[in-house]
Amino acid sequence: MDQIIEGLIKKKKEVAGSTLENHAYLKIPDHDKHYWSPEFHVTVEKREKGALIRGVVGPSPRVWTMFMFFYSAAVVFFFLGTSMGVSQWMLGMDAPWLWSIPVCILLYLVILGAAKFGQYRGKKQMIRLWRFLDHAIDDGEKKKSDED
């Protein structure tokens, strides 16, 4: 399967990537790539009858890491601000930290909106990667049936 995918990558030029043993790493070529472009990681496990193909589509590691950092920061600031604000309020002091609750919720919603926008922007490219893999599977099945 890896030889078929590698051959299609070289022949078609619509998808970039590489293969190593039973893993394939498919991505969008540089001339079509944008910040939200997805990547597709595929593993093929040979079975007694056929093969099991597993794939994960997601953003590039730098985009994923950035979003995890922003989500984590919003959650940490939410809990820190909430505990400080509630403590101040229970002691009868002014509690300006309570403002962190709506601010962090708004920040979380903005981050979520940006992630949804990125999913929207990368949808067509994700479909392109998926169709490329379907084409490679079809070629592999044809090659196997020709050998039998």
Task: Number of helices (H) and strands (E) in the chain: give both, helices first.
Answer: 3, 4
Domain ranges of the chain: 2-59+122-143, 62-118
For the chain, the residue count is 148
- Give the pLDDT of residue 1: 61
DSSP state of 47: -
- Give the pLDDT of residue 74: 96
Confirm if 27 and 37 have CB atoms less than 8 A apart: yes
Nearest to 51 by CA among 147, 144, 128, 146: 144
- Bridge partners (DSSP) of residue 18 are 25
pLDDT per position as a tens digit, 119-145: 999 999 999 999 998 888 888 778 777
Q: How far apart are CA 122 and CA 31, in angstroms?
A: 15
Phi/psi of residue 38, nearest 5 degrees: -80, 165
SS3 at position 99: helix
The CATH number given to 2-59+122-143 is 3.30.310
Confirm if 12 and 32 have CB atoms less than 8 A apart: no
Under the banding of pLDDT at 50, 70 and 90, the label for residue 105 is very high
Under the banding of pLDDT at 50, 70 and 90, the label for residue 148 is low
